[in-house]
């Protein structure tokens, strides 16, 4: 079944910028690159491996694509569950300025209007990893079917946020959740239509 899924690492205060290390995204003077690394453990690794195991193709923002393309083609172990998928499956990078993409299996997407048709091409998950700006745009357009939100027990006070305002009002159902040995919460939410409304106020 075609599905667009998104995996995001976030702090308790909603920051998603540069979780993986120095040089990833220092824009805006961000001083906390690599904030996720101390929380990585086998539980998180197994969760991520499981997500990649379901991938049919990838949809990436330009910055994330450049980071991935500089690293993953150099990981040639066929037993690596992340590298094996990234290096062999189709990849689509969303960019209005990128002229060519040298990573094998990559095509360039110029407009988010093409994403629904792109997702429908695959009998499985079109996966978004990282790509905060792209993720925000996809949430604004109501295109995310499933959200993997990995929440880490740290507050940074500044940085780019996934939910920055303007998202399409949506209800998500909690599909699974678990805690890791380092205190991260790994949750999967499935989009479930529009929000339900109610009131606690009794009529007078």
Q: What is the pLDDT of residues 53-67, one digit of tens each?
A: 999 999 999 999 999
Taking residues 169-177, report their average pLDDT.
95
- Residue 177 and residue 189 in contact, taking contact as beta carbons nearer than 8 Å: no
Average pLDDT of every residue of the chain: 94
pTM of the model: 0.92
Which of 22, 38, 69, 8 is CA-nearest to residue 180?
Answer: 38
The alpha carbon of 183 is separated from its chain's Cα centroid by a whole number of angstroms, namely 20
| Alpha-carbon gap, residue 11 to 14, rounded angstroms | 5
Predicted local distance difference test score (pLDDT) of residue 49:
96
Contacting residues for 190 by C-beta, under 8 A, at least 6 apart: 145, 146, 147, 172, 173, 175
Confidence of residue 166 (pLDDT cuts 50, 70, 90): confident
Predicted local distance difference test score (pLDDT) of residue 126:
97
Q: Which CATH architecture has domain 3-22+30-175?
A: 3-Layer(aba) Sandwich (3.40)
pLDDT digits (tens, 9 = 90+) for 95-150: 999 888 889 999 999 999 999 999 999 999 999 998 889 999 999 999 999 999 99
**Would the pLDDT of 201 be above 80?**
yes
């Amino acid at each position: 079944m075609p599905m667009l899924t998104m995996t995001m690492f976030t702090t308790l205060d909603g920051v998603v910028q540069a979780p993986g290390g120095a040089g990833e995204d220092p824009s805006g003077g961000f001083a906390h690159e690599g904030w996720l690394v101390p929380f990585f453990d086998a539980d998180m690794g197994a969760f991520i491996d499981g997500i990649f195991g379901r991938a049919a193709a990838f949809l990436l923002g330009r910055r994330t694509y450049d980071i991935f393309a500089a690293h993953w083609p150099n990981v040639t172990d066929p037993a690596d569950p992340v590298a094996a998928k990234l290096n062999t499956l189709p990849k689509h990078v969303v960019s209005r300025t990128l002229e060519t993409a040298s990573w094998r299996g990559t095509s360039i997407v110029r407009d988010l209007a093409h994403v629904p048709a792109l997702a429908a091409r695959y009998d499985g998950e079109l996966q978004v990893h990282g790509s905060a700006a792209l993720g925000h745009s996809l949430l604004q357009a109501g295109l995310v079917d499933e959200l993997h939100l990995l929440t880490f027990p740290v507050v940074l006070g500044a940085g780019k946020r996934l939910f920055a305002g303007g998202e399409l009002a949506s209800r998500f159902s909690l599909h699974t959740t678990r805690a890791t040995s380092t205190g991260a919460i790994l949750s999967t939410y499935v989009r479930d239509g529009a929000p339900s409304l109610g009131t606690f106020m009794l009529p007078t």
